[in-house]
A and B are shown apart, each in its own frame.
Chain A
């Protein structure tokens, strides 16, 4: 099995828990024999690292202005698309694209549309949790991307039953493709692999 993981956080670029989560997941997948390519954000230069067999492509966004996170992220994901496409043209297709959080939905969708690679959407949190009382134009845009991701993904992975109910209360008709996988437990990897194999 060959997987692309899209995550804008990855050590040493750490915003929250997600960076550690994705690194641990990638390492464990690799130990299970899965070929793992992580595409993530490059704070300075674009480069490729290998960490315990996991290939990490650090990708630089095409613009430096970050005041509009939606514009910034959608241009970053265009670069992610390009780097992923290069991998695919070089190595052949992948079995799954696992996109973490709304930021990478655009890239996963483009790869699905073009190369027919199944799209797994892993949701760690929703915009309504991060910006609970805020409804600025950018919050609205992010929520619409989250909804698009939920509708277009073949499978949605969340880490708790509570998050599953949060997602289904926001987007109707997607409950049947949500899988609850508790991280860092013995059954974590099994749950993720089941999600990958289901698509």
Chain B
């Protein structure tokens, strides 16, 4: 009988909180194309049905707030209790064939591990990020609790999927998962989301003047994304090239960044937009002359893939997953992390060299097609399932 997977995720479109929802969505629809029967078990969301089939994926939504509490970590575990109940019903109705339990991050660890033991089924987990990495260490009891859940998930999983070699190393060192169990499978991108988009010029003229180059940052406004480093680099770029810097995203640093822009007299050249809708963001990727990713910590760097798929040259910190996606002066420009001089150099390198831009565009489109297609990622994931079953 065919391969079946019960996919446990606390977010699935249209409930989108972070990167797990789009990841699981794309992975699931592409697994279905390979003949895998996919059951996504996920939290309910206003105006969505308890059961629906989305591009062949069976989506089961359960009542995730019937055991309410304002304590997030406690709610997560109670949500897992409900998730496990919903998944048990599905598994009991499918006793034929091979079933894999696939869970994503500590958020659905409990349900995955419970189902593994109760049904004697192999557990595969994807660790998208670690608490240690997010916080730069383990400092409080709360951190440690989540960290210990991640260690537990790693030890209970037959296979652990990470999105980059950087994350694989962290999962090995910090969560003590042996390399034999870890498989690196990158995130994917569907380049067709950037084809035949109308209104790119309108978006460009909305954000930048005719003679200004458009420099784009997309991401949460938090320390690890390094926007403050970009602000320090901007005057150095403006000495040589006229440009508009669009900083799209929101986060706890926003008011501080806005204040810094005003104080430094850059208000006419830097626009902190706040959260922008997907349609505008996609057009900005197409309109921009360069996309800047000055991250200090980046498990993968999905923004780099989006920019590359849109044909927008990337200047990125040589750190984490970005180091693996970008090949210097071949598919992008790498700069030293947390170094405004280096970042300014990288931005100018792209803005001042037409030859380089042409080369980058050609190479990065090829790389996206070759390495980051969801169909390939689903194929590799399927082979991990097959390994876990043996």
Any chain A CB within 8 A of the CB of B18? Answer: no
Given A70-B78, A78-B110, check contact A64 B148 (CB 8 Å). yes
Q: Please report the C-alpha to C-alpha distance between residue A68 and residue B84 in the assembled complex, in whole angstroms.
A: 21
Any chain B CB within 8 A of the CB of A114? Answer: yes
B120 nearest in chain A by CB position: A89
Q: Please report the C-alpha to C-alpha distance between residue A88 and residue B66 in the assembled complex, in whole angstroms.
A: 30
Q: Please report the C-alpha to C-alpha distance between residue A35 and residue B144 in the assembled complex, in whole angstroms.
A: 40
Binds A, one of B69-77, B190-198, B275-283, B303-311: B69-77
Q: Please report the C-alpha to C-alpha distance between residue A113 and residue B90 in the assembled complex, in whole angstroms.
A: 11
CB atoms of B69 and A138 under 8 A apart: yes
Contact among A71, A86, A113 for B74, CB-based, below 8 A: A71
Q: Which size class do A's interface residues fall under?
A: 20 to 34
Question: How many contacting A-B pairs (Cβ < 8 A)?
Answer: 101
Chain B residue contacts of A111, Cβ below 8 A: 118
Identify which of A71, A86, A141, A145 gathers the most chain B CB atoms within 10 Å of its CB: A71
Given A109-B85, A140-B68, check contact A75 B74 (CB 8 Å). no
Any chain B CB within 8 A of the CB of A85? Answer: yes
CB atoms of A67 and B141 under 8 A apart: yes
Any chain B CB within 8 A of the CB of A110? Answer: yes
Any chain A CB within 8 A of the CB of B88? Answer: yes
A115 nearest in chain B by CB position: B118
Q: Please report the C-alpha to C-alpha distance between residue A109 and residue B117 in the assembled complex, in whole angstroms.
A: 15
Chain B residue contacts of A62, Cβ below 8 A: 148-149, 152
CB A69 to nearest CB in B, in angstroms, measures 9
CB atoms of A85 and B77 under 8 A apart: no
Q: A140-B69, A144-B67, A145-B78 are in contact. List 13 more A-B contacts (CB 8 A).
A: A62-B149, A63-B149, A64-B148, A67-B141, A67-B142, A68-B142, A75-B149, A81-B118, A113-B88, A137-B74, A138-B74, A140-B70, A145-B67
Can you list 15 A-B contacts (CB < 8 A)? A62-B148, A64-B148, A67-B145, A70-B77, A74-B78, A75-B110, A75-B152, A78-B110, A78-B117, A81-B114, A109-B85, A110-B85, A137-B70, A140-B68, A144-B67
